[in-house]
Structure 1
């Protein structure tokens, strides 16, 4: 399973790609993907807060 920080990095990448898109539809889709990655990051962080034993080395539960 990925760390929350990895999910946040995917979200940031989607936002960067969206900024470079000419098509409004492609931009919208990438921004939606970013929102989903952000939600996955939040879910993962919550999981690690509730079950620290599931966290990986160097993973922060607080973010």
Structure 2
């Protein structure tokens, strides 16, 4: 009977370790997803900035050409 108890205890420890690892991996996946979202938002903001700058530059060029 002691052998079965020892094996059951080992299985319980292994299951606890595996659950802890699953939790760690889940947390890591959430962190990665958040970082990807942050990067995507930053890219969007940069795209918006460069588009606005290009439009501003085009308008300045148009005004400059109209002066001549």
TM-score, structure 1 as length reference: 0.47
The higher-RCO structure (CA 8 Å, 6+ apart) is 1
Query: Rg larger in 1 or in 2?
Result: 2
Higher helix content, 1 or 2:
2
